[in-house]
């Protein structure tokens, strides 16, 4: 499934191009910042009290844009898992909204990765490219950055489901397309 097909009825080719450009900027900025700072870390495992992603019936629109700075290849299934090099964490980055993004886009207060029944909280990040695409300032905080440490989950192919939560009422939302990672 391509990024353009995730939000129905909208041509997201300009967003895909902006995402690729933003990745280049982020990588350059991250390399400059890595010299003196600690990269964002996922919070402790176990903050979300669900074990079966299928139990979450509300769907998110958005995209898992990169894994360790690279755009994941299609198809995204267990047979085509993204290989995570030995000694490295997996860093997933992207954006999610509930609704169409343009008028009724709801940004998640929290985003989690669900892997092997355990949850890891993502860091929220600004996505001005998403906000500009939808012409909606409310969705600027739709971005996330999720770091998964292999030591927490062991080796092998792991399914990662992305779950969002709105704090006000506790409603959960699920991105319908999981991603598969292969840890050494």
pLDDT in tens, 60-79: 999 999 999 999 989 899 99
Mean of the per-residue pLDDT values of the chain:
80
CB 96 within 8 A of CB 54: no
Which letter, b or e, does each residue of 110-144 get, where b requires 16 or more Cβ atoms within 10 Å of its Cβ? Answer: bbbbbbeebbbbbbbbebebbbebbebeebbbbbb
DSSP H helices, 74-177, are: 128-134, 150-153
Regarding predicted confidence, which is higher, 68 or 35? 68
48 confidence band (pLDDT: 50, 70, 90): confident
Cα(76)–Cα(180) distance, rounded to whole angstroms?
7
Regarding predicted confidence, which is higher, 109 or 29? 109
- How do residues 141-176 score in pLDDT, each as one tens digit? 999 999 999 999 999 999 999 999 999 999 999 999
27 confidence band (pLDDT: 50, 70, 90): very low
Residue listed under structure tokens 């999720």: 146
Cα(96)–Cα(122) distance, rounded to whole angstroms?
12
SS3 state of residue 184: coil
Give pTM, 2 decimals. Answer: 0.74
Q: What is the mean pLDDT of residues 32-59?
A: 59
Q: How far is CA 157 from the centre of its chain?
A: 18
DSSP state of 176: S
| Continuous segment of H or E residues that includes residue 174 | strand 172-174
Residue listed under structure tokens 């964490």: 89
Q: For a pLDDT cut of 70, what percent of the chain falls above it?
A: 74
Cα(129)–Cα(29) distance, rounded to whole angstroms?
17
Q: What is the pLDDT of residue 52?
A: 83
46 confidence band (pLDDT: 50, 70, 90): low
Number of Cβ within 10 Å of residue 9's Cβ equals: 5
Tell whether the model's pLDDT for residue 17 goes beyond 60. no
103 confidence band (pLDDT: 50, 70, 90): confident
DSSP H helices, 9-155, are: 13-34, 128-134, 150-153
């Amino acid at each position: 499934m391509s990024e353009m097909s995730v939000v129905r009825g909208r041509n997201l080719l300009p967003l895909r191009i902006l995402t690729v450009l933003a990745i280049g900027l982020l990588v350059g900025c991250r390399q400059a910042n890595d010299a003196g700072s600690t990269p964002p870390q996922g919070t402790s495992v176990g903050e979300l009290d669900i074990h079966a992603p299928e139990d979450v019936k509300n769907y998110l629109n958005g995209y898992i844009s990169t894994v360790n700075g690279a755009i994941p290849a299609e198809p995204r299934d267990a047979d085509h898992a993204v290989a995570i090099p030995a000694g490295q964490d997996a860093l997933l980055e992207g954006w999610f909204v509930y609704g169409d993004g343009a008028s009724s886009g709801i940004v998640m207060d929290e985003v989690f990765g669900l892997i092997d029944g355990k949850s890891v909280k993502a860091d929220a990040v600004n996505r001005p490219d998403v906000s500009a695409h939808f012409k909606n300032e409310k969705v600027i905080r739709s971005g996330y950055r999720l770091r998964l440490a292999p030591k927490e989950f062991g080796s092998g192919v792991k399914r990662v489901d992305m779950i969002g939560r709105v704090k006000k009422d506790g409603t959960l939302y699920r991105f319908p397309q999981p991603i598969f990672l292969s840890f050494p």
